[in-house]
Amino acid sequence: MFKRTIAIALVFGLAAIAPPVSAGEQRAATCGERTSIVAALKKKHGESAAGVGIAGETAVVELWSSAETGTWTILLTRPDGVTCLMAAGHAWAGQSTELAALGDPA
């Protein structure tokens, strides 16, 4: 549990100090409907949600990973419901477990 917490804190910490993305680079990010992006992560890479956090008042950040494939993905969902793939890679060393459904936020 401690290693997992440290790994998630490290990922979100690095995301927080990353240089800002210019408007031109932001358009190059893969964005779309959250359900289709999540379905692709599950089907193509066997990933499941490993962590979630709120980025300021403007977005939700999710970390998806797979212990079997070693892949990881960071998603950002904006208030308008659009989800963007922010980063992805391989050689994930953290633990990957499915997060419980959080329920209706309303």
For 26-42, write each residue's pLDDT tens digit: 445 689 999 999 999 99
The CA-based angle 95-89-65, given to 5 degrees, is 30
Residue 99 in any domain: the answer is no
Residue 97 in any domain: the answer is no
Single pTM value for the model? 0.63
Cα 35 off chain centre by:
13
Q: Can you give the pLDDT at residue 103?
A: 53
Range of the domain at 37: 2-18+30-89
Number of H helices, E strands in the chain: 3, 5
Q: Residues near 69 by Cβ (< 8 Å), separated by ≥ 6?
A: 45, 46, 47, 90
Residue 85 in any domain: the answer is yes
Extended beta strands in the chain, E state: 30-33, 48-55, 59-65, 72-77, 82-89
Q: Is the pLDDT of residue 92 over 90?
A: no
Domain count, the chain: 1
